[in-house]
Structure formats: structure tokens, C-alpha cells
Amino acid sequence: MNLTSLVTAGLLIPLTLLAAVSAAGAPLSLSDLRCEYRTNPMGIDVPSPRLSWVVTGKERGAAQSAYRVLVATDPALLQKNEGNLWDSGKVTSERTTQIPYEGTPLTSEMACWWKVQVWNEKNEPSDWSEPAKWTMGLLQQEDWKAKWIGLDEENVQQPHPLQSLMEKAKWIWHGEAVRENGEAVPGKCA
């Protein structure tokens, strides 16, 4: 073997081993957090919304083996890894869709911030996901305070003040003739 081959082998073998070790230890990553199949939705009208996320891993066969969901009323709490509305704790499950919210009962117009962490098949935790948000809609009938916009029924029965003048109006209309090649076309108006 010549010197160039030895140097090349001496450099490639450690780099290959380093790449293999870093790929094997690569944690799962989380993205596309959704509530009721929507990203950061507003007006959620179910008392226990369903949460979903996408898990990706660099290693072949990498899979989620457990998850933990935190839900809070303030994103600052999530930064401290605290969920004042719900902390699911570590749940052994491969599920990533339709995870029902099981925390403190939610109220109308409440803003909920959430994030998730998962573990791989080797029980290694991922980093926390980026926070996501959902906002509750109006859940109770008494929460609705708006009034319908429209014509009041009592006004429909009364004639319009100018209706008598309109009945006597005569309308004269003369449409401008359609022209083709500078000539008026009989029977056609614009």
C-alpha cells in the first residue's frame, strides 16, 4: 500500500464511523402539529379536541414508541415545560393522530398552546416540537350574544313610504344600439 492509500483510509474510516454513530443516535423530529386536522385553528367547537403530529427520523425503521403532550394557557408556560391545562405524562403508544385532549375542561374562546415530545423505539426522547395553538369557539348556547342582521318582520308588512310615488312612475328607456363595423345592428341593444 502506498502512503496516499493509508492516509485516505486513515481519514475515511473515522469519518464513516462518526457518521454511523451520529445517524444511529439521531432523534425523531416532530412537525405539522394539528388540532382537529387543522393548523392553529380558531373556533374549535368540540369540548375534547383531537391532536395530531408528524414524526420523522433519519434512521431506517425509526418509530415513535411513546409521546407526551403539554397544553397551556400561555406559551411562556410551555417554554418551562409546564402544561397548566393538560400534561399527558409519558404515554406508551405509536399513535400520532386523533389523540383526544383529556385535560382541564375548556371554555368558550379559550386560547390553548400545546407541544409534544416523543420517544423512539430505543426509548430515546426527541426534542420538544415547536408550540402550536388552537382557540375554542362558542361552546354553550348562552355564549352567543350576536343578533341576526336583516330586515325586521314588522317592517316587511308595512309599505315603503315612497311606494305610492313609485306606482305612478313611468319609465322610458332607450338602449344604445350595438354597432358592428360602424353600423347599428337592428334588434340588439347594449
Q: Enumerate the domain spans of the chain.
A: 25-140
**For the CA atoms of 99, 100, 102, 104, what is the dihedral angle to 10 degrees?**
120
Query: 28 or 174: whose pLDDT is higher?
Result: 28
Report d(CA 52, CA 183) in Å as an integer. Answer: 68
CA dist list (Å): 167 to 94, 170, 174: 74, 8, 21
The structure's pTM equals 0.65
* Residues facing residue 115 across a β-bridge: 70
Query: 47 or 14: whose pLDDT is higher?
Result: 47
Q: Which CATH class is domain 25-140?
A: mainly beta
Which of the four pLDDT bands, split at 50, 70 and 90, describes residue 56? Answer: very high
The mean per-residue pLDDT over the stretch 121-128 comes to: 94
Report d(CA 55, CA 27) in Å as an integer. Answer: 10
What local confidence, expressed as pLDDT, does residue 145 receive? 87
| Category of 109 on φ-ψ map: left (φ > 0), alpha (ψ -120 to 50) or beta | left
Report d(CA 83, CA 72) in Å as an integer. Answer: 5
Report which of 85, 70, 78, 56 is spatially closest to residue 117, judged by C-alpha positions.
70
The mean per-residue pLDDT over the stretch 60-79 comes to: 94
What local confidence, expressed as pLDDT, does residue 112 receive? 98
Return the amino acid letter for 125.
P
Judged against a pLDDT cut of 70, whether residue 139 lies above it is answered with: yes
Q: Is-contact 88 139, C-beta < 8 A?
A: no
Q: How does DSSP classify residue 38?
A: B
Report d(CA 121, CA 61) in Å as an integer. Answer: 9
Which of the four pLDDT bands, split at 50, 70 and 90, describes residue 185? Answer: confident
Report d(CA 59, CA 21) in Å as an integer. Answer: 11
Q: Is-contact 91 67, C-beta < 8 A?
A: yes
